[in-house]
Structure 1
Amino acid sequence: MNRATCDPFAAAEPAPMPRPSPQELWKRYHGHADPHAEDALVQQYLPLVMNVLGRLAMTLPEHVDIEDLKSAGLVGLLQAVRNYDPTCGTSFETYARTRIRGAMLDELRRMDWVPRTVHEKARRVQEAMARLEQELGGSPTEAQVAAALGLTAEQYAKLLDEVRPAAFVCLDAAGGEDECGALYDVVADPRSESPDELAARRELKQIILQRLREMPEIQRKVLAMYYVEDMRLREIAEAFGLTESRICQIHAQAILSLRAYLQRYEAGLVQQFKIPNRP
């Protein structure tokens, strides 16, 4: 028998220190009482990076370096820790997800991972949707869009799969050519916005909400479950009793429909306020 085990006077191992709560870490961080609080907060919220990365990785081709995206997400998390204002009324998790996702999408744009042909195909679908909406006065069905493109239902489903990466990025991205802004981006920006920018953002939200009300119910639900309820595509597919591939197609159709509607709305505004040529 081990002597040290039976010796009542043997030095006992110190009990592990309890892990501080997030509230305690934030208190130490803002009070500058602990120089290691920042590192501790990053470790505390590291699962957010993996969660965002896992959701985004489902839409990416195999050649994209996931480790590069993870590194970008860690930078976004660190920026979120440093810029978060607890008085803004938004939870840190919500704010951090936005910064992490934005950092990863910036890295994707830098890598230029979506081929130009994918953007061109997505633009073709959007233009067809915009024409049909103007003719029909409402959101076209998948069958109607497929017919307008001269495709069968199977060919159109394959096309939606091909443009899926561009469709996913457009909803998440903030800014950039041909992008409509982020629907979920409702947290405070550390940089102040001018009154006209705030008004434009509010107007854009109202336009998108109005459009969502007009979309088919299954498209609305898929978008809500994915972007609001933070569900994975697999979980959404199980909820509807459909395949994950079919949910991806429904998602792509909904996003392209939103983009087409916004482009048509913007074109209408330009035409409305166009100054006529003087005689």
Structure 2
Amino acid sequence: MFATVSAPSSHPAQALRAYQSGVNEDTLIERHLPLVRTTVDRMRVFLPAVLDMDDLYSVGFNGLLSAARKFDPAHGVTFPSFATLHIRGAVHDELRRMDWTPRTIRDKAKRFNESLSGIEQRLGRPATEAEVCGEMGLTLDQYETLMGEIKPASFVPLDGEAFSDESDDVSLHEIIADDTQKSGRDELEKKELVQLMIAQLQKLPDIPKKVLALYYFEGMRLSEIAAIFGVTEGRISQIHTQAVLSLRAFIRRQETVPAAA
């Protein structure tokens, strides 16, 4: 349970946004407190059991505070959607500071990413599980074990960083301008990257594409998605992990392409 926190709008721009929305920051926070637990609980499937969830709820609450201060209804985005991205971003920042992923897992994730990227560069499309297994010399059982081990590397993958307080990375979910907006050229490059990302998403096989759509855009839990497809939650988690890492690898490749003169 969270204590009541007062966050007055002392900055003129914040006061203007609060006036325009007809709802002040305290009211936004009070109305959307349950969103913190809901958002963090959806993330916990990707996290080690040893993490203290109460600590993550507190971090998520800070993300809600940040969202309430920055929210501008003039951009045509609902506050729950905006706040969810900031809550995820705050948790992602905290876990990055904790450096909780073991070195062995990071090494395995790096090898997987290199293999995945190599396949996709050669073929010009997302790789299948069978192709990854062949590239890495794994059996299907070994592949499934690996997906379970590197699963934490894919949590909050598509929209968390863009709305953290420590990152300027682009979000697949949506691009929302704020007071820290970069130059027009930077914003154009971001939008072009999102368009490329959406095109790459459409190239995914049907099931991974549906899994990402249901999870990120319909707000469903992995267990609910598993029930739809008639498979285990673990299987949906594996599909999600490879799809997300594939999209991440695609983004990294695009970011390393030299800009046109």
- Count of residue pairs brought into register by the alignment: 241
Cα distance in 2, alignment partners of residues 193 and 266 from structure 1: 17
Cα distance in 2, alignment partners of residues 255 and 180 from structure 1: 16
Shift of residue 155, structure 1, vs aligned partner: 0.1
Distance change in 2, residues 1:154/1:273 (3 Å)? same
Cα distance in 2, alignment partners of residues 217 and 30 from structure 1: 42
Whether the 8 Å contact between 2:171 and 2:194 is mirrored in structure 1 is no
Whether the 8 Å contact between 1:94 and 1:187 is mirrored in structure 2 is no
Shift of residue 115, structure 1, vs aligned partner: 2.0
1:57-109 C-alpha deviation (Å, 9 max, x unpaired): 12110121211111111111122222211222111111111111111111111
The aligned residue for residue 188 of structure 1 is 177
Whether the 8 Å contact between 2:222 and 2:233 is mirrored in structure 1 is yes
The aligned residue for residue 126 of structure 1 is 113
The aligned residue for residue 19 of structure 1 is none
1:82 to 61, 66, 69: 69
Cα distance in 1, alignment partners of residues 49 and 209 from structure 2: 29
Instruction: Give RMSD over aligned pairs.
Output: 2.7
The aligned residue for residue 205 of structure 1 is 194
Distance change in 2, residues 1:45/1:123 (3 Å)? same
Shift of residue 38, structure 1, vs aligned partner: 4.2
Cα distance in 1, alignment partners of residues 190 and 219 from structure 2: 23
Shift of residue 140, structure 1, vs aligned partner: 2.1
Distance change in 2, residues 1:47/1:144 (3 Å)? same
Distance change in 2, residues 1:139/1:42 (3 Å)? closer
Shift of residue 273, structure 1, vs aligned partner: 6.6
The aligned residue for residue 54 of structure 1 is 41
1:207-257 C-alpha deviation (Å, 9 max, x unpaired): 111111111011111011111111100010011111100000000110121
Whether the 8 Å contact between 2:36 and 2:87 is mirrored in structure 1 is yes
Cα distance in 2, alignment partners of residues 143 and 180 from structure 1: 31
Cα distance in 2, alignment partners of residues 156 and 180 from structure 1: 30
% identity of equivalent residues:
45
How does the TM-score come out when normalised to structure 2? 0.83
Whether the 8 Å contact between 1:223 and 1:251 is mirrored in structure 2 is yes
- Residue 51 of structure 2 aligns to which amino acid in structure 1? V
Cα distance in 2, alignment partners of residues 217 and 155 from structure 1: 24
Cα distance in 2, alignment partners of residues 152 and 61 from structure 1: 25
1:259 to 235, 248, 254: 248
Cα distance in 2, alignment partners of residues 84 and 152 from structure 1: 48
Whether the 8 Å contact between 2:85 and 2:160 is mirrored in structure 1 is no
Cα distance in 2, alignment partners of residues 99 and 185 from structure 1: 12
Shift of residue 135, structure 1, vs aligned partner: 3.0
| Mapped pair 1:45 → 2:32 | yes
Cα distance in 2, alignment partners of residues 263 and 191 from structure 1: 23
Shift of residue 266, structure 1, vs aligned partner: 4.0
- Residue 258 of structure 1 aligns to which amino acid in structure 2? L
The aligned residue for residue 10 of structure 2 is none
Cα distance in 1, alignment partners of residues 157 and 18 from structure 2: 35
Q: Secondary structure at the match of 1:58?
A: helix
Cα distance in 1, alignment partners of residues 211 and 51 from structure 2: 26
How does the TM-score come out when normalised to structure 1? 0.78
The aligned residue for residue 231 of structure 2 is 242
Give runs of ≥4 in structure 1 deviating > 4 Å: none
Unaligned runs of 5+ in 1: 1-26, 32-36, 275-279
1:101 to 76, 83, 88: 88
The aligned residue for residue 111 of structure 1 is 98
Unaligned runs of 5+ in 2: 1-14
The aligned residue for residue 12 of structure 1 is none
Cα distance in 1, alignment partners of residues 159 and 104 from structure 2: 20
Whether the 8 Å contact between 1:170 and 1:180 is mirrored in structure 2 is no
